Chain A
Amino acid sequence: MSKWFSKGTNNVMPNANESISGIATSLQRPDAAEKVCGTFEYSSDLVANNMLWGGTLRSPHPSARIVEINVENARGIQGVATALTANDLPGKPNYGLLMSDQPVLADEFVRFEGEPVALVAAADPEICRRALAAIEISYELLEPLTDPERAEDSPAVFPGGNVIRRVPIERGDPEASGDVVVEGVYEVGMQDQAFLGPESGVAVPNEDGSIDLYVATQGLHQDHAQLAPCLGLPGEKVRIHLAGVGGAFGGREDFSVHAHACFLALNTRRPVKMSYLRDESFRGHLHRHPARMWYRHHARKSGKLVKVEARILLDGGAYASSSSAVAGNAARFACGPYRVPNVSVEAICVRTNNHPCGAMRGFGAVQACYGHESQMDKLAKKLGMDPLEIRFINALQTGDRLPTGQKVHVPAPVRECLEAAAAVPLPGESSDNVDGYGLPGGAGRTADRSRIRRGVGFAVGYKNLAYSEGYDDNARVRCCLKDGKLTITSAAAEIGQGFVTVARQIAHEVLGVEDIALHPANTSDIGSAGSSAASRQTYMSGKAIELACRQIAQRVCEACGENWKVNAKQLSLANGRVRSEDGRFDVKLAEACGDPIETEVFHSHRQTFGMDKATGQGDTDASWIFGAQRAVVDVDLDLGLIRVVQITTGQDVGRAINPLSVIGQIEGGISQGLGLAVMEEVLSQDGVVQNGSFTDYLVPTFADMPPVEVTLIEKPEDGAPFGAKGVGETPSLSSTPAIAAAIRAATGLELPRVPIRPEQIALA
């Protein structure tokens, strides 16, 4: 177990220096110098010769039939190169991650507010805006379906009905009951990824009819598989290149400008740039699924769980995206990281005319975590137990069976995570209060000290690592060692998480080389790495790099053995040299073997299987990651304002390959969980979003974030790259329920819904 403090003053981070360091050192990001100087090129910074700007016209209505579209006025504006509608589409009209249901441009119906209807390409963004405004559309308005509870009984939003997926899990004795029963209904609002870099990219058409798209994305090859058919082009005529990505958090799993920019570029035979403004971003990407969750927990007097019943309803919005996987996660993680002998769970994801929802950090598990942790606290209260104690009693361990019947085969340090979060001393009453600025209300200084209450809450959650349910999960990597220099070719998307750093550290650890280059990620030079999602890139592509480098190391030793007549088995690589155990052979890597050594690795994680349709049973997951948090909050009872005073966390990481990056992931994930707890929600009224801007959709600022104290629980997983699991998602699971629990402790209120709004406290 290692402890890291987030306060700059008592930081115990190892000193990163210029040269590459291997595992467990905080190597600096290779792109950091460019990023701090403003010279790093993001997708919105791209330009091409003779470039046009593209714009999208979106439906203002959540449900309507398109009676007529007239783009002639727009086409007539000087500076406009083209205006296009669904009638002009060159290929397959629909796309989608798991199901091709989302139209590139709406044809007959629009199914959510913000659905793309027409496109324009023009000389500059201002002409584009005017041209979009000149397009005439007549809509026949239809009654939108906006209440997910009514979805099953309402007319189909999309052919095939309104249930995207129903996932039951039945295990053990359905008649089992406990000494105590607690029940609750909980809700999670719609959260937005709110990455800062706008959706953007440039599509460049070529003479030979092929096209190059430079775009910010999480998964180049999954984009490619959807894009080529939409453009009516064979796969080899479409190349996608990773442009600089300004954050993603799941929000770049689906298309943004992809098909639209290419479509305009092919049509005009000119490069086309598209870049969303923030209000369009709120309409142009998918959000986190809002959830309504009913729970009933049964337990013995001792606190031991007997049975969990749950029904989780997720609003998928108009199109399917990754909804079916989200529903699978919500069902599988509904009970939390606890031993539960009897389970009856159903998660269901439905279609409505609300904004479509898809991937966001921790998908499915985030919603469930808020539900099961609220229940655990309720149970503790009913039993008169300590909230920590009830979690310890039921904590999952290696060897236990999950609700799916799958046996936990990896380290499961649930208890350790909780203990670590609890071990940090509680902050003093006035720890952060300088002139009252540290009280709820901050610089507004509205707080009356006598009306401030402090509360403490705990939560623990877990989630699957990498893809599950039999979904092919693999990553391809090519490594080439030449003149002592290593080039890594991978299509893994660097989205800010630090894959470019970790990739180098792993290669350095195995080969001892300093000079490591990462070939730019694209779809034409290498096969798929899978998406930078599900906390999986270190675990998958990192592992592939490790394997490739081990193969290279072996070939170097063999070549040396042959060339220099030494025993290859006694050779090892370090510090850019090949040495024998006895030190008699000691040669620079660049001189040790003549030819370039290249190898390509295709790595798959352990096979997973689908869930049984009736019982949900199956070995569905490759591995899991666990994390616990303690939140300390101050609440202003009069105004309902909240200040999170401190977060402590114990985080299962397997092994921290780059501790500084891991801390960054944890702190960032916590800030998003804090946002969901007390401020972030995409609000819609009859299907129309009301707060699509950073003025109205609030994300945590510097002033909202408390100090975070992180304890890394390092229990290496067998077979994972140097034992490293993943860390992208778990930090965002438990902060929301921990903060909610702390607010409940401070106020005594039920607070069954997040984000918790001031009026729920002040007017209670």
Chain B
Amino acid sequence: MEIERRYELLINGKECKVESSWLGESLMYVLRERLGLWGTKNACEQGECGSCSVLIDGMLACSCLELAATAVGVDITTVEGLGAPDNMTDIQQSFIDEGAVQCGFCTPGLVVAVHDLLLSNPAPSGQEIKEALAGNLCRCTGYGRIEAAVVKVVQQRHE
């Protein structure tokens, strides 16, 4: 339904024009299909898997549950805003080093969630890691290598 509405979203520090969008579109859909920010993934589109995780004004959120049209005026960070292949964060690098990536569909959401976790809790215990990331499903890894990746980042940051 192409209702003529235009709005701007502030994503990764840039104003992005959203055009010819049906007003019911989720933030996840707009990020992906309208703005080409495909790093935000779409595994369930009902708030259960965390693969669409983004930061909204610094708060971890499932972008599939947010209406894009109501996200005007807030600060949105997607995985693309954290690091790029030639300029990765320590979290992204650690995911690679520790074998935390298989199919990788859960990975961008987890990278965002770990980023958020370590901002609020720079030295999480094993249980705190598990609890904080329990909203991000991964079907491939059984989480062992992901936990190892987080532990390694924490160690490195405290060295």
The complex places the Cα of A35 from the Cα of B78 at a distance, in Å, of: 14
Q: Are B39 and A443 in contact (CB-based, < 8 A)?
A: no
Q: Please report which residues of chain A, range 655-686, place their CB below 8 angstroms from some CB of chain B when the two chains form the complex.
A: 660-661, 663-664, 666-672
Residue of A nearest to B22 (CB): A126
Q: Please report which residues of chain A, range 1-55, place their CB below 8 angstroms from some CB of chain B when the two chains form the complex.
A: 6-9, 11, 13, 16, 26, 28-29, 31-42, 44-45, 47
Q: Are B32 and A45 in contact (CB-based, < 8 A)?
A: yes
Out of A124, A247, A661, name the residue touching B99 (CB < 8 Å).
A661
Chain A residues, Cβ within 8 Å of B46:
278, 693-695
Provide the B26-43 mask, 1 if CB < 8 A to any CB of A, else 0: 000100110011111111
Q: Please report which residues of chain B, range 45-83, place their CB below 8 angstroms from some CB of chain A when the two chains form the complex.
A: 45-46, 48-49, 51, 78-80, 83
In the complex with contacts A196-B137, A196-B139, A703-B130, A37-B99 CB distance below 8 A: no
Out of B38, B133, B137, name the residue touching A45 (CB < 8 Å).
B38
Q: Is B140 an interface residue (CB 8 A)?
A: yes
Minimum Cβ distance to chain B for residue A511 (Å): 25
Q: Is B150 an interface residue (CB 8 A)?
A: yes
Q: Is B121 an interface residue (CB 8 A)?
A: no
Minimum Cβ distance to chain A for residue B30 (Å): 12
Q: Is A578 an interface residue (CB 8 A)?
A: no
Q: Are A8 and B44 in contact (CB-based, < 8 A)?
A: no
Residue of B nearest to A735 (CB): B142
Provide the B87-104 mask, 1 if CB < 8 A to any CB of A, else 0: 010001101111101111
In the complex with contacts A701-B137, A703-B134, A8-B148 CB distance below 8 A: yes
In the complex with contacts A8-B152, A11-B148, A36-B88, A434-B127 CB distance below 8 A: yes
Q: Are A37 and B88 in contact (CB-based, < 8 A)?
A: yes
Residue of A nearest to B98 (CB): A8
Q: Are B127 and A126 in contact (CB-based, < 8 A)?
A: no
Minimum Cβ distance to chain B for residue A50 (Å): 15
Minimum Cβ distance to chain A for residue B68 (Å): 13
Out of B41, B79, B142, B145, name the residue touching A196 (CB < 8 Å).
B41
The complex places the Cα of A213 from the Cα of B95 at a distance, in Å, of: 32
Out of A37, A497, A672, A700, name the residue touching B85 (CB < 8 Å).
A37
Residue of B nearest to A667 (CB): B142
Out of A37, A79, A196, A694, name the residue touching B92 (CB < 8 Å).
A37
Provide the B111-139 mask, 1 if CB < 8 A to any CB of A, else 0: 10000000000000101011101111111
Q: Are B22 and A124 in contact (CB-based, < 8 A)?
A: yes
Q: Is A707 an interface residue (CB 8 A)?
A: yes
Minimum Cβ distance to chain A for residue B29 (Å): 8
Minimum Cβ distance to chain B for residue A134 (Å): 14
Out of B83, B84, B85, B144, name the residue touching A6 (CB < 8 Å).
B144
The complex places the Cα of A40 from the Cα of B102 at a distance, in Å, of: 12
Dominant secondary structure of chain A at its interface with chain B? loop
Provide the A486-497 mask, 1 if CB < 8 A to any CB of B, else 0: 000000000111
Q: Is A392 an interface residue (CB 8 A)?
A: no
The complex places the Cα of A211 from the Cα of B139 at a distance, in Å, of: 32
Q: Are A38 and B96 in contact (CB-based, < 8 A)?
A: no
Out of A126, A495, A694, name the residue touching B44 (CB < 8 Å).
A694
The complex places the Cα of A37 from the Cα of B110 at a distance, in Å, of: 11
Residue of A nearest to B36 (CB): A47
Minimum Cβ distance to chain B for residue A284 (Å): 14
Chain B residues, Cβ within 8 Å of A667:
141-145
Out of B2, B93, B102, B146, name the residue touching A496 (CB < 8 Å).
B102
Q: Is A233 an interface residue (CB 8 A)?
A: no
Residue of B nearest to A275 (CB): B42
Q: Are A671 and B104 in contact (CB-based, < 8 A)?
A: no
Out of B22, B101, B143, name the residue touching A702 (CB < 8 Å).
B143
In the complex with contacts A434-B125, A496-B140, A708-B142, A197-B103 CB distance below 8 A: yes
Out of A194, A438, A664, A695, name the residue touching B145 (CB < 8 Å).
A664
The complex places the Cα of A39 from the Cα of B45 at a distance, in Å, of: 20
Residues of chain B at the chain A interface (Cβ within 8 Å): 1-2, 22, 24-25, 29, 32-33, 36-46, 48-49, 51, 78-80, 83-85, 88, 92-93, 95-99, 101-108, 111, 125, 127, 129-131, 133-152
**Cβ contacts A to B, 26 pairs, < 8 Å:** A7-B148, A31-B104, A32-B96, A32-B101, A36-B83, A36-B101, A36-B108, A37-B83, A40-B104, A41-B38, A47-B36, A126-B25, A195-B139, A196-B51, A196-B106, A247-B105, A278-B44, A434-B127, A442-B131, A443-B131, A660-B99, A664-B99, A667-B144, A671-B143, A705-B144, A708-B142
Starting from the known contacts A32-B101, A39-B39, A41-B38, 17 additional A-B residue pairs (CB-CB under 8 Å) come to A9-B151, A38-B39, A38-B108, A42-B105, A246-B104, A247-B140, A664-B99, A666-B142, A667-B141, A669-B142, A671-B142, A693-B46, A693-B48, A695-B48, A699-B137, A702-B130, A708-B142
Residues of chain A at the chain B interface (Cβ within 8 Å): 6-9, 11, 13, 16, 26, 28-29, 31-42, 44-45, 47, 79, 123-127, 193-198, 245-249, 275, 277-278, 432, 434, 437-438, 442-443, 495-498, 660-661, 663-664, 666-672, 693-695, 699-703, 705, 707-708
Closest A-B pairs by Cβ, 6 of them: A38-B39, A496-B103, A35-B104, A8-B148, A246-B105, A667-B142
